Amino acid sequence: MRIAFIGFGEAGRAFQQSLAAADAALGFAAYDILVDLEGPDGGSAAAMRTAGVDVARSVYEAVFRADWIFSAVTADQSLAAVKSALPHLRDGQALFDINSVSPQRKRDSAALLAPTGALYLDMAVMAPVHPQGHRTPVLLAGPVDDALSAKLGALGFAFEIVGPEAGAATGIKMVRSLFVKGLEAITVETLLAAHASGCLDYMLKSLAGSYPGLGLPDFAHYQFERTTRHGKRRAAEMRESAATLDHLGLHGPLAAAIADVQEKMGGLDAARGEDAGLRATLEGLLAKRRS
């Protein structure tokens, strides 16, 4: 069995590493736009070679011999990734779209794929991909028959089928992400504001009393770590959540505002973790945010 990846970032690498450990007979190929930008000696190609993955110089090279294809690109490139694969797909192949995008985006992708005869599967990854890799809990929507379910199970995928049509899996993730990433944004902005206004100690005491289950201040450290490390990617996801809410006739600007906070936090080089101390972390982040 041969598996291809379109996009070989964090999610693609995590899936490939655990799949290779689960079945040594699997073959892998990957195409990533970074190979075009960096060249064959760049970091992306080097990561593929280190993992035992064939470095594809085009989408065609990655997918033409693949049984399964995982699309794991940035949210804004998910439709482009599907379009790039279309001329090279055939009956019997399966494309798993694991990108965090709106239900409509995945329905559009499924419609494009239908004439090729390849299966389009909407897969929503519901937890961080480390350390479990492909065993991370996922939701799956689309034409999943018994044979495909058996193959997924044999490889150790922790999947739940939530509907027969594309969009059902990612729809659940987009709504859930509104809460999860929104809670991160609320925590970050509240504590930054508390520190800036000189009421941090009072705020922590008050919130811990009202919401003892949160486990402050440890919870705050975790939220700052997630937003600074993954804020850019979370921002893209929340813009897809905003599109989801707009399509439902609800308040998309709420998710867009969460995306703005995540975007501002993403990539900030500030002290992280308990060893730094919450106050020092806040001080460093405030300086970065104000600069």
Query: What mean pLDDT is reported for the chain?
Result: 95
DSSP H/E element including 124? strand 119-125
Closest CA to 94 of 143, 36, 28: 143
Strand, helix or coil for residue 188? helix
What's the whole-number mean pLDDT along residues 109-115? 97
For the chain, the farthest-separated pair of C-alpha atoms sits apart, in whole angstroms, at 63
Is the domain of 155 the same as that of 182? no
DSSP per-residue letters across 132-184: TGGGS-EEEES---HHHHHHHHHHT--EEEEESSTTHHHHHHHHHHHHHHHHH
Q: How far apart are CA 265 and CA 239, in angstroms?
A: 15
pLDDT value for 274: 45
The domain boundary residue, chosen from 164, 185, 202: 164
Q: What is the CATH number of the domain that holds 159?
A: 3.40.50.720
- Cβ neighbour number for residue 191 with a 10 Å cutoff: 23
Q: How far apart are CA 205 and CA 87, in angstroms?
A: 59
The domain boundary residue, chosen from 131, 164, 197: 164
Is the domain of 159 the same as that of 175? no
Query: Cα angle vertex 207, ends 204, 210, to 5°?
Result: 150
- Reported as a single tens digit per residue, the pLDDT across 26-73 is 999 999 999 999 999 999 999 999 999 999 999 999 999 999 999 999
Is the domain of 123 the same as that of 252? no
Is the domain of 154 the same as that of 10? yes
Is the domain of 81 the same as that of 152? yes
In percent, the amount of the chain with pLDDT more than 90 equals 91
Closest CA to 129 of 12, 225, 273: 12
In percent, the amount of the chain with pLDDT more than 70 equals 97
- Cβ neighbour number for residue 203 with a 10 Å cutoff: 16
Is the domain of 136 the same as that of 177? no
| Burial of 104 per CB tally in 10 Å (0-12, 13-18, 19+) | middle
- Reported as a single tens digit per residue, the pLDDT across 121-142 is 999 999 999 999 999 999 999 9
The domain boundary residue, chosen from 140, 164, 188: 164
| pLDDT classification of 276: cutoffs 50, 70, 90 | low
Task: List Cβ<8 Å contacts ≥24 apart for 50-53.
Answer: 51/13, 51/16, 51/17, 51/20, 52/20, 52/28, 53/5, 53/8, 53/16, 53/28, 53/29
Is the domain of 207 the same as that of 241? yes
Is the domain of 248 the same as that of 226? yes
Domain hosting 267: range is 170-290
Is the domain of 21 the same as that of 104? yes
| 124 CA to centre of own chain | 8
- Reported as a single tens digit per residue, the pLDDT across 177-222 is 999 999 999 999 999 999 999 999 999 999 999 999 999 999 999 9
Which amino acid, one-letter code, is at 262? Q
258 has a pLDDT exceeding 70: yes
Is the domain of 12 the same as that of 127? yes
Q: What is the CATH number of the domain that holds 253?
A: 1.10.1040.10
DSSP 267: T
Q: How far apart are CA 9 and CA 44, in angstroms?
A: 8
Q: How far apart are CA 87 and CA 229, in angstroms?
A: 36
Is the domain of 129 the same as that of 268? no
Is the domain of 8 the same as that of 131? yes
- Number of domains the chain contains: 2
Which amino acid, one-letter code, is at 82? V
| pLDDT classification of 273: cutoffs 50, 70, 90 | very low
Strands 27-31 and 2-6, by their bridges, are parallel
